[in-house]
A and B are shown apart, each in its own frame.
Chain A
Amino acid sequence: MEKNSHSGVSRRKFLQKLGVAGIGATSPLFISSCSGESSRKKMKVLTLDNKLIEVDATELKIAKASNDKSYLQQEGREGIKGKKFVMVIDLSKCRNERKCMKACQSAHQLKPEQHHINVLEMEDEISGISYFMPKPCQHCNNPPCVSVCPVDATFKRQDGIVLIDNERCIGCRFCIAACPYSARSFNWTDPRDADKYKDVVYNVELNVPQKKGTVTKCAFSADRVREGKLPYCVSACPNGVYYFGDANEDLVTNGTTKETVRLSKLLFDNSAYVLMPELGTKPSVYYLPVRTNNS
């Protein structure tokens, strides 16, 4: 009885959530298959907060994709519960093919001179040997950019990802001044293909469409990570440079070989380091130093 009395409201609420889940996480096939079933049939579905619930199959409707995208902002700011994303970059393997940069720039609507990830040619101070170093945002655990932002436009989520909300950014560029890794870029003029992206709904996890007069930065491909996929740059690399994963699980997956390894062991065995540890920023990006016997 009690269940019935509040089901009217909660069902509507639930269906909103379901619509959300339908767009965000599951394939359209799922919804079309259930809408054809008989009224007695119950369906098990997963809500946004990971609860498995059962509903009458006839109540299921196909949600329209353009209806309400406010959930993008909310989930984008909250992040994914229980996760702590990290990246490991194996410098020995980088051949400067720049597939990562291209994949990133096309996904994030960037111009050729705008980099969320930038492959730098570095010189080892002691040996003089040069090597290539891909440099994404370090997603610091003590992020100087987040501290200085006056409007909370750039923020750190519970899963460790530092994002920028370009619908709130006022364009003061204090975060650019504060970032010791030069990881941020600004839309000085209209972004690339501004017309093409004109009607796209803003997704804070992808930071697309880009907006003139706002800052943009590497998002650890938060949109892909939400779908359980590897970031754009990680999947694009042909040389197995990148590992990406969850520090809480202590597992990272190589983007090229799809091999999953234990994070702590990978870091320890290869004498991993972070960039400029003396600054106290505590990066989430680890580097495996160049080893000539490997390359």
Chain B
Amino acid sequence: MMDSAEKSFKKVERDLLASVNWGVKSKVWMGFLLLLLVVCLFYYVKQLRNGLGVTGLNDIVSWGVYISNFVFFVAASLIGMLISSVLGLIGFKWITPILRIAEIIAVSFAMVAGLIIITDMGRPERLLNVFIFGRIQSPIIWDIVVVMTYVVISLLLLYVPLIPDIALCKDKKKGVPAFQRWIYKVLSLGFTYKPNQFKLVEKYIRILAVLIIPVALAIHTVTSWLFAMTLRAGWDTSIFGPYFVSGAFVAGCAAVIIAMYFFRKSYNLQDYITDSHFNKMGKLLVMVALIYVYFNINELLVAAYKLKSGEAEHLQSILWGHGSPMFWLVQIGGLVIPFVLLIIPKMRKPLPSLIISIVILVAAWYKRYVIVIPVQEHPFLPVQNVPDYYSHYTPTLPEIAITIAPFILVLIIMTVLSKVFPVVSVWEAKESSVEEQNR
């Protein structure tokens, strides 16, 4: 009995620490990402020099893909809270191997979201004004406060469960560069696998898991208030908070499934991230998608029933007007597909669920576009004495490049984190292997 446990411990360690290295493949991948990032940065420098005029933005549609991209990133980062807190606190054991993936997604998307906002600023060099002259009345200040808090708590929620694994890396990974060894030494905080240390780690995880729930709800609710706090028809609605939060879980679940698929494949984690995980994540996605459907019906039907003057024009435009192709694409890809296709068990196998998740994630991105842009194309007063293109916003090449950059940055952060630390928690995997044998 003891022997087999010892053996399985060895196997767990070997399997999960195998990915902690910088192989040729990962170096090539990082090089590719960095090259892409440089290309995007070139366009950002261009924007810094010439102003936001390099974008397709104008006085009528003054918030474009940067803002919708920001909303998307905040949305995707929310999944960390759902999986590691809500499901964890309820006591689901199956989430253990994907906890860290969810947290890595939360941390990287939330951190990059902050950078996206800077790319949207006309005077980024005046960023400090926000701290010098900040006014508590402004939802932007609320957003900055909660996003920063969320990043900090998410980082802790990633880091605290990592401490035992970092200590393990320090002992077992002697071949890594000196700098990385130094990181392990500092970050392991002298952890020596004592039972009371494990107890402490578990206690802090629980505290953080509780703390992160209100903060996570706050970041996306406040993000929705950037729109809902204005008087514009189409944004001026009290449902935006829960509507955004439920939509965020759909996007986040899809992101986790995609990440699970690629980590499992490239790091050979088939024994840890199993078909059953895809099956369960698929079911979770169906559930959150149904909640999202409910909020969509509320959001659309209530406005469409009354047809108040401003709302009517906006609805006409997105349902069968200028913005309608994208709207229907998004509703079918982001709502119908997830809950109809994923109900079928076969569709929850790894490959089909990967493909479905990619469709959902793309639709989720465009969904934010549909929320942010068409509303501005139909202000209350007529658009006159300005160039014709003002009410038909199209992003420009530099703008698209600057919008892609955050995705590259997220991939870089995810790659680095997963190369420096085991992407599946080793000590928790050991625990569950013990539990399995005892059963």
Contact = CB atoms under 8 A, between A and B. Distances in A.
A135 B381 contact: yes
B138 A118 contact: no
Interface string A138-163: 00000010011111110000000000
Interface string B354-388: 00000000000000000000001001111111110
Interface in B212-233: 226-227, 229-232
Interface in B373-421: 376, 379-387
A115 B123 CA distance: 21
A190 B137 contact: no
Contacts of B53: 188-189
Range class of the A interface residue count: 35 or more
B122 A180 contact: no
Interface in B126-183: 126-127, 129-130, 132-135, 137-141, 144
A119 B381 CA distance: 11
A186 B231 contact: no
A120 B382 contact: yes
Nearest to A169: B123
B231 A180 contact: yes
Given A169-B123, A188-B57, A121 B140 contact: no
A195 interface: no
A110 B35 CA distance: 40
Contacts of B135: 149-152
Contact of B122 (A114, A135, A169): A169
B44 to A, nearest CB: 14
Contacts of A190: 51
Contacts of B137: 147-148
Contact of B129 (A170, A174, A181, A212): A170
Contacts of A180: 230-232, 379-380
Nearest to B376: A177
Nearest to B143: A150
Given A144-B231, A148-B140, A121 B121 contact: no
Nearest to B132: A151
Contacts of A276: 380
B122 A119 contact: no
A189 B140 contact: no
Contact of B126 (A170, A182, A212): A170
B384 A148 contact: no
Contacts of B122: 169-173, 186-187, 212-215
B123 A186 contact: no
Contacts of A144: 230-231
Give the one of B229, B380, B385 with max A CB within 10 A: B385
B51 A150 contact: no
Contacts of B140: 148, 150, 172, 174
Given A151-B129, A151-B134, A185-B59, A121 B230 contact: no
A275 B55 CA distance: 32
A176 interface: yes
A186 B130 contact: no
B138 A149 contact: yes
B51 A189 contact: yes
B380 A170 contact: no
Given A150-B141, A182-B383, 8 more contacts: A121-B384, A148-B139, A151-B138, A152-B133, A173-B120, A177-B62, A188-B53, A212-B51
9 contacts: A101-B385, A115-B386, A120-B384, A170-B130, A173-B122, A174-B139, A177-B227, A189-B50, A275-B381
